[in-house]
Structure 1
Amino acid sequence: MARTHRPKRPRRRIPRALVVVGAIVVIAALIAAIAVVGSLVTTLFQTLGARPPAVDTRIVAPDESKAAQAARAGAGDADENAAAEWLSTQPTTYWLTPEIDPVDEVWDRVAHLAAEARDQKAALSIAVYGLPDRDCGNHSAGGLDPDAYREWTGRIGDALRNASDIQKIVVLEPDSIALASSCGSIQDRAGYLRGAVDSIRGTNTWIYLDGGHSSWHPPAEMADLLRATNLLSDVRGVALNVSNYQDTAAEFAYAHALSDQLGGIHAVIDTSRNGAGPAGSEWCNPAGRLVGSPGGSYGDGVVDTNLWIKPPGESDGECNGGPVAGTWWPAAAAELTREQR
């Protein structure tokens, strides 16, 4: 049987331009794949390398703190200027408020603080303080409406996630939970805080809810308030003694009592102004107080560390001769630092 010879099909030549384009597409795809893998590896290492705050944690000394602004202005007497200068160098939590850092500016503020953290080889510590019905109409009354609060905390969270390479400590809404029983708004506040936690959490970000202090609510009562938020599984723990003057030892004991009742939560303790202890039950600008131990001095299995959260030299409110809450008060700064200069 004769073999049939099929005619050969003419060989098509692929235009050189198409070959080049195809090669570029393949190379671009490979580069993109490598970038994705690299990003995943970087995120994995950042996640594995994330460590909670601990003894020796050093936080940023913000260059735009009110102490730093007062030091640059130099408008006080010799003691007041020296106090401002010294306080401006101390690692202290920066308070984000919508009055000073509104929604269209807060991203830039957090980015600037993150850059400072890199320069200072420090952690970033911020207090987020813009809750609707903030401070229940007391000295620090204010805050945002619910929709604006959601947008504001969303911008904060975006900026924090953009700084995944540094450690971030977030003290979320001081006094918000401890005040809730007197404001009658625990469920409303829990809803706002839930939105804030969802917006803010991310890699190497350690969130602490308001835990009051040892002379406010008994541990069982405070534990019930915290439990009612349904947030404890989504945060690191609680912040204690914020803007107050209680002894460090009393706050350690309180932290352990709360942790025992709440399944082992952790805490940070504010020691910015408790160097002379409390002044009885007076919490609003009591006289004769002193700055406390520097942040990063103490910690144990429950207390991650102490920090300076309330900036020394800022008023608690219009009481005992003080100006509006949060305002720089040169005389108070001088008194608080009288043994440091």
Structure 2
Amino acid sequence: MRVTPGIAGAVIAVLALAGCTGGDDDPSPTPTASASDGSDATMVIGGDDHVDNPYDGAVMYVNEDWSTNVRETAGESTDAVLAASMKAVANQPTAVWLDRIAAIEGTSDARGLEAHLDAALRQAESAEDGAPVVVTLVIYDLPGRDCYALASSGELSATDADMARYREDYIDVIAEILAREEYADLRIVAVVEPDSLPNLVTNATDSRCEDAAPYYREGVVYALDSFARLGHVYSYLDAAHSGWLGWPDNAGGAVALFAEIAQETQAGFGSIDGFVTDTANTTPLEEPFLDATDTVGGQEVRNASFYETNPDIDEVSWAADLWSRATAAGFAESTGIVIDTSRNGWGGTARPTAASSSTDLETYVDESRVDRRVHRGAWCNPAGAGLGMRPEASPEGYPDAHLDAFMWVKPPGESDGSSRLIANDQGKAFDQMCDPAYESDRLGGQLTGALPDAPISGAWFPAQFAELVANAYPPVGTDVTTDGALGTPTPTLGSGACTAMLTVRDSWEGGYVADVTVTANVDVSNWSVELPAGTVVRDGAADIWGVVESGGSVSPTGWSATLAAGASATFGWVGVGDDPAAGPLVCNAS
């Protein structure tokens, strides 16, 4: 799940070494390395243009291929409010997945790497104050990829021949493109091989993982070395998620492996700028009503069956744990962490609003957790998931996690795997964990909770996207701040706390009847809606109902002023003139 032929010295930016990635002040001399074509090249580890956090001060790249899918799905929706919410997130930045060799050139339904970088340059031209654009690429085509899952298995097998293809046809090609002078002002974040090294920590005895292990190590080191030569490229290792590596033994083993990999590269720890967690997973950023060490019925929360003694019950906890262990193992203190928040919001009506009052540990945890999966090991298209925090550089409120960014690494609406066997030419097999009718031993004999009718991994899945938007937390249009480092998310009311959708019920020459449905995205005590410009209400107050109008803005009368999250109220009017355009109106709440 989740670099054209050799790199010639002439296309590699040769910069003086300014210290290891992220500002490490190691005084060792500038290391050199041979490019894959045999030419010598100075390895850039940092350099004057290599910043500590590539997302900070930059504009995140918006993939128009993804945006087009979003808008088409919104256009096909029969739910006007949901469609408006879909359109509202259509310009959010997402990562670009290079999950096969053909993805570099581009396919019939997706542009290639050069086209994405050219589009990023165009976005940079319109960026305010000359801000750079940061493009997040997912490097994901190791031989024997994702050895413990079938849905995301790839085109290359765990063989010497395919290892050569990985180096020469994949990594080298990507690195050569990134090294071109025209792309030097872009910041490129490379998310290196999701699920690869974590599988070597916990699934090393699986025969497929045993076969793949040497190729994982060799391939990851090769990718890191290739990218370390380019000062505008930033490598982040995938570090799974809290429900996978959060146990102390797993966490310790993972960080030890990450350190070994770093020390096998020519640049050492300087080849790795940070880590990415929760890639393509749905583990919540925070469990606002739970703390791992809280005691209920004489037992700590982490001892509930859902957490299985894991002390890292959410991604913020794992990020803090990971950073602490990594820096102790030799990584620079400037090492940053990116959390994939594309699908970990868990909003909607199923989201708890307070801690349980039960004194039974199992009941308390089940009623309090926002993660509504049947099991933390349920990873394939889980039902009930929602969009999480919007992409953001240097998010505040999580000092121990050392976050470089929230990022939608897994583009929302792209499937994790097919719910049945679907023939394809991408090497992606059928995994029963994606079948909603499958009872898995890995999940304690429970059904997977996967969505039905899913396409192969990476393919657009409209039903999933619709559910993610409907269950977004914070709801679409709502900003969220935090009360302290690990505080409870608190909606900031205003534009976005409510949505208003206009429909035209009837019309005739010179007049019409309009209805507006107002939906609260959070609990609100009052709201107002801006009428379309030029609105003329026939006969004044007599022909507008449910609200009072003043200066083109309306506010509710009576009971409908107060709305609980998810509740709706309607108003309408008889208008004079042409029909207004159906669709969303500006809605404010307090």
TM-score tier by shorter-chain length is 0.7 to 0.9
CA pair 86-257 structure 1, distance change in 2 beyond 3 A: same
Aligned to 1:204: 232
**Is this contact kept in 1: 2:416–2:457, CA < 8 A?**
yes
Q: Which has the higher helix share?
A: 1
Is the aligned partner of 1:327 residue 2:359? no
Aligned to 2:389: 293
- TM-score, normalised to structure 2's length? 0.47
Query: Matched residues, percent identical?
Result: 26
User: Equivalent of 1:251, from 288, 296, 315?
Assistant: 315
Aligned to 1:27: none
Aligned to 2:431: none
Is the aligned partner of 1:269 residue 2:270? no
How many residue pairs were aligned? 302
Q: Shift of the alpha carbon at 1:204?
A: 2.2
Alignment RMSD:
3.1
| Secondary structure class of the residue paired with 2:237 | strand
User: Equivalent of 1:223, from 255, 272, 277?
Assistant: 255
The list of structure 1 runs, each at least 4 consecutive aligned residues, that deviate by more than 6 angstroms after superposition, is 39-44
CA pair 86-119 structure 1, distance change in 2 beyond 3 A: farther
Paired AA for residue 140 in structure 1: S
**Is this contact kept in 1: 2:63–2:94, CA < 8 A?**
yes
Q: Shift of the alpha carbon at 1:114?
A: 3.5
Post-superposition Cα deviations, 1:106-162, rounded to whole Å, max 9, x if no partner, equal: 552453344244245331111111111112252111143212211211121122222
Give the whole-Å Cα distance in 2 for the aligned partners of 1:333 and 1:90: 14
CA pair 102-50 structure 1, distance change in 2 beyond 3 A: closer
Larger mean Cα displacement after TM superposition, 331-340 or 300-309:
300-309
Aligned to 2:23: none
Aligned to 2:93: 91
Larger mean Cα displacement after TM superposition, 240-249 or 143-152:
143-152
CA pair 176-42 structure 1, distance change in 2 beyond 3 A: closer
Q: Shift of the alpha carbon at 1:94?
A: 1.1
Paired AA for residue 313 in structure 1: G
Q: Shift of the alpha carbon at 1:48?
A: 2.1
Alignment of 1:97-116 (within 5 A): 97-98=99-100, 100-102=102-104, 106-116=112-122
**Is this contact kept in 2: 1:270–1:307, CA < 8 A?**
yes
CA pair 49-229 structure 1, distance change in 2 beyond 3 A: closer
Aligned to 1:77: 77
Q: Which has the higher contact order (CA 8 A, sep 6+)?
A: 1
Q: Shift of the alpha carbon at 1:49?
A: 3.8
Post-superposition Cα deviations, 1:293-316, rounded to whole Å, max 9, x if no partner, equal: 111161547221211100001111
**Unaligned stretches of 5+ residues in structure 2:** 1-9, 19-45, 128-132, 157-161, 204-208, 287-313, 328-332, 347-369, 419-433, 435-449, 477-498, 500-590
Aligned to 1:235: 272
CA pair 188-81 structure 1, distance change in 2 beyond 3 A: same
Paired AA for residue 170 in structure 1: A
Alignment of 1:183-194 (within 5 A): 183-184=209-210, 185-194=212-221
Post-superposition Cα deviations, 1:42-64, rounded to whole Å, max 9, x if no partner, equal: 999x9424322355654111112
CA pair 147-88 structure 1, distance change in 2 beyond 3 A: farther
User: Equivalent of 2:197, from 173, 177, 199?
Assistant: 177
CA pair 71-193 structure 1, distance change in 2 beyond 3 A: same
Give the whole-Å Cα distance in 2 for the aligned partners of 1:335 and 1:164: 39
Aligned to 2:167: 150
| Secondary structure class of the residue paired with 1:208 | strand
CA pair 199-42 structure 1, distance change in 2 beyond 3 A: closer
| Secondary structure class of the residue paired with 1:267 | strand
Aligned to 1:118: 124
CA pair 47-226 structure 1, distance change in 2 beyond 3 A: closer
Paired AA for residue 244 in structure 1: N
Q: Shift of the alpha carbon at 1:260?
A: 1.9
**Unaligned stretches of 5+ residues in structure 1:** 1-35
CA pair 82-180 structure 1, distance change in 2 beyond 3 A: farther
- TM-score, normalised to structure 1's length? 0.77
Give the whole-Å Cα distance in 2 for the aligned partners of 1:148 and 1:113: 28
Paired AA for residue 229 in structure 1: I
Q: Shift of the alpha carbon at 1:98?
A: 1.7
Aligned to 1:53: 54
Larger mean Cα displacement after TM superposition, 180-189 or 262-271:
180-189
Give the whole-Å Cα distance in 2 for the aligned partners of 1:194 and 1:156: 15
CA pair 73-270 structure 1, distance change in 2 beyond 3 A: closer
Give the whole-Å Cα distance in 1 for the aligned partners of 2:70 and 2:319: 35
| Secondary structure class of the residue paired with 2:92 | coil
Aligned to 1:317: 417
